[in-house]
């Protein structure tokens, strides 16, 4: 199989993690265009240090800089050289989508939408506020559309906004919508347990929990990925929360380092919205307040913790970059 994976210049966790997984599966038959420099082992450290989050996890030189032919892309798309064309970020690539979509067959292209908003292309405000964009082709009319922050507001039209939110959830979904979420490279998953030396990781993103745990910090404290990972590996638990969107690379980093995630208000997450597969009491904890979380942990026995940790590891493996790439290709092949 030969894939053209259309990228953008900024760091973008959804397409970038999927690109890593597809390259692991297909090697040079997965062609990133333009070349995603910050994923390669040839990327200068000076550039990596400008990447959001200190270049942890995805931007540590995972991809080998093999020679890949990246010229005459539009001509090659028109000639249908590629078995599949992936638009890695439709919000940033809708101009390119308009340029190429006339050459594409329905089963030979897919759309990725990793934005933090539940709105979709082209029904978000950025387009409907400009009447020149009102007739842009809807991506879901022809191609599979993979949405990360998928909620009842993810509709490919504008009229549904006139309805109360409690009614919107009963409206039919597009048959082309598919779920998708972040993932983590296999290289970042710890496969052996380490001795736990403390209850909580040092960096706790919930300020209310951080205030109650001595030695912890709400602000980032680690300068290197290794320091960050080592702290997680000796900790029983770490905290994660919804930020701009429900999905966050932090969920996967915690689980990949044999640490149980404690997810604030996880029960409020829409079922269709990433992350998928986190189940309170099975592979994570969910809590509403800091006191509630501390109570759950203080009453937890060793067996219960070990069971949680074992299932956390299973969840991390299920959300590896290669597994996510396989899921994506299976969805394409089964349409």
Hey, what are 155's tokens? 């509709």
Q: Running DSSP on this structure, what letter comes out for residue 286?
A: E
Same domain, yes or no: 136 and 9: yes
Output the CA torsion sign for 206, 211, 213, 219.
Answer: positive
What is the CATH classification number for the domain harbouring 65? 3.40.50
Same domain, yes or no: 311 and 238: yes
Tell me the helix, strand and coil percentages in the chain, rounded to 5.
Answer: 40, 15, 45
Same domain, yes or no: 21 and 119: yes
What span, in angstroms and rounded, lies between the C-alpha atoms of 175 and 153?
15
Residue 310 pLDDT: 98
275 upstream amide cis, omega within 30 of 0: yes
Domain count for the chain, please give it: 2
Higher pLDDT, 50 or 188: 188
Same domain, yes or no: 21 and 165: yes
Give residue-wise pLDDT tens across range 59-101.
Answer: 989 999 989 999 999 999 999 999 999 999 999 999 999 999 9
Q: Say what angle helices 249-256 and 225-233 make with each other, to 10 degrees.
A: 60
Same domain, yes or no: 124 and 206: no
Sheet holding 3-6, edge to edge: 30-33, 3-6, 84-87, 109-113, 144-147, 177-179
Q: State mean pLDDT over 177-195.
A: 96
Same domain, yes or no: 302 and 330: no
Higher pLDDT, 125 or 41: 41
Q: What confidence category does residue 10 fall into, taking pLDDT thresholds of 50, 70 and 90?
A: confident
Same domain, yes or no: 113 and 160: yes
Residue 139 pLDDT: 85
Task: Specify the pTM.
Answer: 0.94
Same domain, yes or no: 119 and 23: yes
Same domain, yes or no: 8 and 117: yes
Q: Running DSSP on this structure, what letter comes out for residue 230?
A: H
Residue 125 pLDDT: 85
Q: What confidence category does residue 311 fall into, taking pLDDT thresholds of 50, 70 and 90?
A: very high
Could you tell me if 290 and 211 are in contact, meaning their C-beta atoms sit under 8 angstroms apart? yes
Residue 168 has pLDDT above 80, yes or no: no
Domain span including residue 83: 3-183+322-334
What span, in angstroms and rounded, lies between the C-alpha atoms of 242 and 249?
11
**pLDDT over 70 percentage in the chain:** 99
Q: What confidence category does residue 48 fall into, taking pLDDT thresholds of 50, 70 and 90?
A: confident
Question: What size, in residues, is the chain?
Answer: 335
Residue 76 pLDDT: 97
What span, in angstroms and rounded, lies between the C-alpha atoms of 100 and 96?
6
Same domain, yes or no: 120 and 260: no
Same domain, yes or no: 248 and 308: yes
What is the CATH classification number for the domain harbouring 238? 3.40.50.2000
Radius of gyration of the chain (CA): 21
Q: What confidence category does residue 275 fall into, taking pLDDT thresholds of 50, 70 and 90?
A: very high
Q: Which residues of 215-235 are buried (b: 16+ CB within 10 A; e: fewer)?
A: ebeeeeebeebeebbebbbbb
Same domain, yes or no: 48 and 135: yes
């Amino acid at each position: 199989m030969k894939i053209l994976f259309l990228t953008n210049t900024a760091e973008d966790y959804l397409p970038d993690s999927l690109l890593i997984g597809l390259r692991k599966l297909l090697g040079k038959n997965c062609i990133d265009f333009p070349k995603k420099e910050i994923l390669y082992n040839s990327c200068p450290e000076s550039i990596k240090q400008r990447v959001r989050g200190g270049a942890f996890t995805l931007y540590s030189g995972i991809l080998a800089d093999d020679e890949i032919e990246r010229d005459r892309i539009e001509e090659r798309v028109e000639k249908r050289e590629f078995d599949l064309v992936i638009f890695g970020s439709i919000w940033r690539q809708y101009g390119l989508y308009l340029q190429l979509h006339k050459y594409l067959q329905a089963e030979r292209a897919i759309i990725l939408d990793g934005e933090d908003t539940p709105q979709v292309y082209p029904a978000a405000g950025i387009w409907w506020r400009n009447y020149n964009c009102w007739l842009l082709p809807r991506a879901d009319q022809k191609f599979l559309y993979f949405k990360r922050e998928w909620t009842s507001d993810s509709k490919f039209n504008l009229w549904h906004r006139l309805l109360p939110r409690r009614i919107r959830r009963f409206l039919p979904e597009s048959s082309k919508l598919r779920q998708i979420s972040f993932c983590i490279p296999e290289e970042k998953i710890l496969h052996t347990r380490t001795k736990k030396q403390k209850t909580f990781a040092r960096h706790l993103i919930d300020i209310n929990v951080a205030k109650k745990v001595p030695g912890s910090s709400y602000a980032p404290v680690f300068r290197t990925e290794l320091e960050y990972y080592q702290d997680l590996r000796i900790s029983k638990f770490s905290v994660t929360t919804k930020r701009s969107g429900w999905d966050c690379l932090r969920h996967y980093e915690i689980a990949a380092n044999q640490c149980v995630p404690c997810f604030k208000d996880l029960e409020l997450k829409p079922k269709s919205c990433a992350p998928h597969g986190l189940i309170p009491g099975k592979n994570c904890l969910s809590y509403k307040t800091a006191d509630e979380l501390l109570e759950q942990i203080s009453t937890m026995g060793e067996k219960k913790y070990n069971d949680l940790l074992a299932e956390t590891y299973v969840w991390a493996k299920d959300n590896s970059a290669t597994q996510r790439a396989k899921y994506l290709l299976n969805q394409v092949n089964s349409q």
